[in-house]
Amino acid sequence: MVGTQATFAYTVTNIGGDTLNGNAVAPCAGFAVVPPTFSLGAGEQTQLKVTFSPTTAGSSMCDLDVGSNGGNVQLDLSGSGVTPPVPVVPSPVSPWGLLMIAGLGFSMVWVLRMNRGRHG
């Protein structure tokens, strides 16, 4: 949802005997990876946490590029930003018979209220 974030973890494990040094980057708007660099001894592992934080509605795609002295990997990332629903909150009735229904964001709707009876 736009304005929120989702985080996914990928595990990197050094199955070799030497130190594994590397970096990770997700070079697209809305995507971030932590930590950007790692150094793992033999048998050690770490998690790369990829966060998707959409700022607009729609689909986004990116590559998670992981480079190291043990090889390179590219993983496909995708996410969708969805506009949150606008809650409807009735406001007090105005003296002109208009009932305003206010929404969060940029939309405002005015509804004409039908009055029954005579005004004199």
Please give the single-letter amino acid code of residue 108: M
Distance CA 76, CA 30 (A): 14
Contact 26, 65 (CB under 8 A): yes
**Is the pLDDT score of 1 beyond 50?**
yes
pLDDT tens, position by position, 60-75: 999 999 999 999 999 9
Distance CA 59, CA 54 (A): 9
Map out the domains of the chain with their CATH numbers. 6-81 (2.60.40.10), 85-120 (no CATH)
**Is the pLDDT score of 45 beyond 90?**
yes
DSSP state of 17: S
Q: For all residues of the chain together, what is the average pLDDT?
A: 78
pLDDT score, position 41: 95
Q: In 14-119, which ranges are E strands?
A: 20-25, 31-34, 37-40, 45-52, 58-68, 71-81, 89-93, 98-102, 108-112
What's the mean pLDDT in 30-39? 95
Instruction: Give this prediction's pTM.
Output: 0.65
**Is the pLDDT score of 14 beyond 90?**
yes
